[in-house]
């Protein structure tokens, strides 16, 4: 197959949109959803990100651009392709993403994934709630950690949230395909809904009342993380059942929010696992 020049185009919109999507700017009735590119498509790049999307039957791939080596690797791994890859040179992909993007020879244009409602979540396990965390690298890393710990979902606000595409998707390393994202308009109201469904809602803040490891935890559990610097907003904080901290033994007492999410998930998973045995 001969390589060709990059000729980007917009995919035709799907005539059927049965439910809100990861990435739609607005939900039916004007309710915003988790951010996405203006044309309604998400951009996925990098080996793990694109491979996971190709292997996800819920993800509709519109176009797939691949270098010859990447296309060969997909074939060798037995990845079923819903669309025929369009072979391009590596610099053609880089020209679209920017010089710092590590694309590994793969870029896909895809429809956003369905975004469930809170009432659709099974009231089991752990849910992460993000209170206006805006950095896509951090959110992507949090999603990757959430997938590693089998978190049931991530709840985030429609505003002050990064788009579920590009850098976030690359940082998530395929986790977008495994962890549902619930987008809400009002976070305090969403926390109240989680509490009504039986969730214990625990906020994480450096000024928390007790170390997370000492808090009595139970499932279903919602762990609430605030933005770096600002922390939890006041209304978010007061809506939580309890606010806990992560005690650290070293000289530095604070962590990047994605690292804090990893530590909190580890502590909570161990505690809930011990309680179940």
- Output the domain CATH number for residue 201: 3.40.1280.10
pLDDT digits (tens, 9 = 90+) for 93-110: 988 887 778 999 999 999
In a domain, 32, yes or no: no
Q: Do 98 and 124 reside in the same domain of the chain?
A: no
Collect all residues with Cβ–Cβ distance below 8 Å to 89 and sequence separation of at least 6. 3, 67
Choice among 37-46, 124-133, 207-216, 257-266 with the minimum mean pLDDT: 37-46
DSSP the chain: ---------PPPPPS---S-BTT-SB-GGG-B-S---TTS-EEEESHHHHHHHHT-TT--EEEEEE-HHHHHHHHHTT---SS--EE--HHHHHHHH-TT---TTEEEEEPPPB---GGGS-S-SEEEEEES---HHHHHHHHHHHHHTT-SEEEEESSS---SSHHHHHHHTTGGGTS-EEEES-HHHHHHHHHHTT-EEEEE-TT-SEEGGGS---SSEEEEEEBTTTBS-HHHHHHSSEEEE---SSS-----HHHHHHHHHHHHHHHHHHHH-
Which domain-ending residue is among 67, 87, 110? Answer: 110
- Write down the mean pLDDT value for the chain: 86
pLDDT at res. 40: 84
In a domain, 18, yes or no: no
**CATH number, residue 73:** 3.30.1330
For residue 275, name the pLDDT band (cuts at 50, 70, 90): low
Phi and psi dihedrals of 81, rounded to 5? -105, 125
Structural domain including 68 reads 41-110
Query: 269 and 149 in contact (C-beta within 8 Å)?
Result: yes
Please tell me the pTM assigned to this model: 0.82
Collect all residues with Cβ–Cβ distance below 8 Å to 138 and sequence separation of at least 6. 171, 228, 256, 257, 258
In a domain, 128, yes or no: yes
Which domain-ending residue is among 110, 139, 159? Answer: 110
In a domain, 2, yes or no: no
Phi and psi dihedrals of 168, rounded to 5? -60, -45
Q: Do 60 and 151 reside in the same domain of the chain?
A: no
For residue 151, name the pLDDT band (cuts at 50, 70, 90): very high
- Is residue 158 over pLDDT 70? yes
Q: What's the total number of domains in the chain?
A: 2
Q: Do 125 and 99 reside in the same domain of the chain?
A: no
pLDDT at res. 197: 96
For residue 274, name the pLDDT band (cuts at 50, 70, 90): low
- Is residue 13 over pLDDT 50? no
Task: Compute the average pLDDT of residues 61-66.
Answer: 96
Q: Do 148 and 261 reside in the same domain of the chain?
A: yes
Which domain-ending residue is among 77, 110, 143? Answer: 110
For residue 262, name the pLDDT band (cuts at 50, 70, 90): very high
pLDDT at res. 276: 55
- Is residue 88 over pLDDT 50? yes
233 preceded by a cis bond (ω within 30 of 0): no
Q: Do 72 and 208 reside in the same domain of the chain?
A: no
In a domain, 11, yes or no: no
- Is residue 211 over pLDDT 80? yes
Q: Do 162 and 267 reside in the same domain of the chain?
A: yes
Higher pLDDT, 28 or 254: 254
pLDDT digits (tens, 9 = 90+) for 25-34: 334 333 333 3
- Is residue 11 over pLDDT 80? no
In a domain, 210, yes or no: yes
């Amino acid at each position: 197959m001969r390589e060709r020049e990059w000729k980007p185009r917009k995919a035709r919109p799907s005539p059927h949109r049965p439910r809100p999507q990861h990435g739609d700017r607005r939900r039916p009735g004007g309710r915003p959803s988790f951010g996405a590119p203006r044309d309604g498509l998400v951009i996925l790049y990098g080996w793990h990100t694109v491979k996971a999307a190709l292997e996800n039957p819920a993800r509709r791939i519109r176009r797939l651009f691949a270098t010859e080596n990447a296309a060969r690797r997909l074939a060798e791994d037995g990845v079923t392709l819903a669309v025929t890859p369009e072979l391009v040179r590596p610099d053609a992909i880089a020209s679209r993403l920017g010089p710092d993007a590590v694309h590994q020879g793969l870029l896909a244009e895809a429809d956003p994934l369905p975004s469930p409602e809170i009432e659709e979540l099974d009231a089991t396990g752990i849910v992460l709630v993000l209170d206006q965390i805006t950095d896509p690298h951090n959110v992507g890393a949090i999603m990757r950690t959430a997938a590693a710990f089998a978190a049931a979902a991530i709840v985030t606000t429609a505003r002050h949230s990064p788009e579920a595409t590009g850098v976030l998707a690359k940082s998530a390393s395929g986790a977008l395909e495994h962890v549902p994202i619930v987008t809400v308009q009002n976070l305090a109201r969403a926390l109240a809904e989680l509490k009504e469904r039986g969730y214990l809602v625990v906020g994480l803040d450096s000024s928390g009342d007790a170390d997370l490891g000492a808090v009595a935890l139970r499932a279903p559990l919602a762990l609430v993380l605030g933005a770096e610097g600002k922390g939890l907003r006041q209304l978010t904080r007061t809506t939580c059942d309890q606010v806990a901290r992560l005690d650290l033994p070293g000289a530095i007492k604070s962590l990047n929010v994605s690292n804090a999410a990893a530590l909190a998930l580890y502590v909570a998973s161990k505690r809930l696992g011990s309680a179940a045995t």
